[in-house]
Structure 1
Amino acid sequence: AEQLTMSKGGEKATGSAAQEAWRLQGECFFQLGDMDRALQSLNQAMTFERKFEEPGFFIRLGSVLVAKKRWKQAREAYLKSIQFLPTAEAWSGVAYAEYRS
């Protein structure tokens, strides 16, 4: 995680570059099936001043939360995605999380 926040010159990346690094790290951990670390990385990406407005980010967050059986939090993540762009995937995620909770 620490290496992803570093730029080429050894200086810490700031702002959107570091935020994107955390998001990508979360995606990598998701693909590897490590949901604990995926959630940590995605949560870290959300701590930056610039807020995500990308629906795909919240769909991925919802998917991680579903895998961890955090139904209500997953539902909220999918609903956040829908605020930016209503998609069948997000609505399906809301329905699934609601059904399981």
Structure 2
Amino acid sequence: MNKKRIKKSLDLKKNWPGYVLLAPAVIAVFTLSIYPLFRGIYLSFVHYNLVRPNDAIFNTFAGLDNYKNIFSNKIFLQSIGNTVKWTIVNLVIQLLAAMLLALALNQK
């Protein structure tokens, strides 16, 4: 009995206006989030250079070579460290400011 109720509530003929209204949002989420995510993952595993698209190795499989190159680059590692430091300092300042403001607004 419960399965029939669930199946009836998902009936396409009955609920088609809802599905039609939901379709643009689903398409937007796919095109703006999911597709770029998978495209970025794909590009991280191939030789891809927009400056020289006529190279013989353009868009060929690189495996983990791109990751080896980036994690052996000292400038990249320094930028990751700077990002982590900036994030921690920024979060601490924001948290302290928010707490002080909340305490000030909580006074009678």
TM > 0.5 between the two?
Answer: no
Q: Which has the larger radius of gyration?
A: 2
Q: Which structure carries more relative contact order (alpha carbon 8 Å, separation 6+)?
A: 1
Shorter-chain-normalised TM-score: which range? under 0.3
TM-score, normalising length: structure 2: 0.25
